[in-house]
Chains A and B, each alone.
Chain A
Amino acid sequence: EPEVTQTPSHQVTQMGQEVILRCVPISNHLYFYWYRQILGQKVEFLVSFYNNEISEKSEIFDDQFSVERPDGSNFTLKIRSTKLEDSAMYFCASTAQTGELFFGEGSRLTVL
């Protein structure tokens, strides 16, 4: 069964460093998302991406965040200068317009 894959599974970084989280969505899906979940808290929407551009973003997704789909298969989330409060689980998801989102296993980001 096709699945969304994310790398790395866990990344530890120093505050102020840049981080890139990678995702490979399901191949025939058209909509891509990044969500995050701070430990023990609810899942929060960051950004949606369609037709090679951001379709919607939340207040969390400020200038420090960016997304890219560089090669038609990968979908990346970049955090330019990480802060302690960026520590969270970051989930990539995709959908084929059914409304059902398929999630990856997540990338745990720890900012020290």
Chain B
Amino acid sequence: SQQGEEDPQALSIQEGENATMNCSYKTSINNLQWYRQNSGRGLVHLILIRSNEREKHSGRLRVTLDTSKKSSSLLITASRAADTASYFCATDKGSNYQLIWGAGTKLIIKP
């Protein structure tokens, strides 16, 4: 089954605004992670939230997890042009740390 579906598929905002991306998944998870990918580059880990956590912060990033709704959100506050990238959620079912990925949200920050 499809796991980790992000929405929106694309998001374009002005620099300084907040960006919110959502992720839904279908099966139970051990943790959920968010990664960033600049165009043509590798995947960079941003934040990991465990299934028993509801909210986590890291700098300008805030992640929430609602296991009852099987959904997560990533909020980037005070966006910068350098935040322009694709953002992926990935779920870990607890099997060899294998991740299942969503299709990603392409975020464009306009200066």
Contact = CB atoms under 8 A, between A and B. Distances in A.
Interface residues of B, number: 23
A50 B96 CA distance: 8
B100 A99 contact: no
Which bracket fits the contact residues of A? 20 to 34
Contact of A42 (B31, B45, B101): B101
Contacts of B98: 33, 45, 48, 56
Interface of B is mostly: strand
A102 to B, nearest CB: 7
28 contacts: A31-B96, A31-B97, A33-B98, A35-B99, A42-B88, A42-B104, A43-B43, A43-B88, A44-B101, A45-B98, A45-B99, A45-B100, A45-B101, A93-B43, A99-B31, A99-B33, A99-B48, A99-B97, A100-B33, A100-B48, A101-B33, A101-B43, A101-B45, A102-B45, A103-B42, A103-B45, A106-B41, A106-B42
B103 interface: yes
Interface string A32-49: 010100000111110010
Interface of A is mostly: strand
B30 A99 contact: yes
A100 B92 CA distance: 10
B44 interface: yes
Q: A-B pairs with the 7 shortest C-beta distances?
A: A43-B101, A105-B42, A103-B43, A42-B103, A103-B42, A48-B96, A55-B96
B95 interface: yes
A43 B104 CA distance: 9
Given A45-B100, A56-B98, 16 more contacts: A33-B98, A35-B99, A35-B101, A41-B103, A42-B102, A43-B43, A45-B99, A48-B97, A48-B98, A55-B96, A56-B95, A100-B33, A100-B45, A100-B48, A101-B99, A104-B42
A7 interface: no
Contacts of B43: 43, 91, 93, 101, 103
